[in-house]
């Protein structure tokens, strides 16, 4: 069940990032209307599959598609 949820959230994240220069985790959370744990579950999925890059910028994490 959790694996399905992670995949669905990862797809939503990918769609939100597609066509952009990237977003912060805070922007993604607001755009997708998800809680932190769900956002990071999806980000972990995409990081594991080398679909996104993430870097710490001051007080947030910046995510973009590879």
First-residue to last-residue Cα distance in the chain: 27
Cβ of 30: how many Cβ atoms within 10 Å?
A: 11
User: What are the structural domains, with CATH classification, of the chain?
Assistant: 2-65 (1.10.10.10)
Over the stretch 19-63, which tens digit does the pLDDT of each residue have? 999 999 999 999 999 999 999 999 999 999 999 999 999 999 999
Entry pTM: 0.94
Over the stretch 12-23, which tens digit does the pLDDT of each residue have? 999 999 999 999
């Amino acid at each position: 069940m959790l694996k399905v949820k992670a995949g669905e959230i990862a797809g939503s994240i990918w769609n939100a990032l597609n066509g952009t220069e990237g977003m912060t985790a805070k922007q993604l959370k607001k755009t997708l209307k998800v809680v932190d744990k769900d956002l990071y579950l999806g980000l972990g999925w995409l990081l594991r599959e080398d679909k996104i890059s993430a870097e710490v910028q001051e007080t947030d994490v910046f995510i973009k598609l590879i």
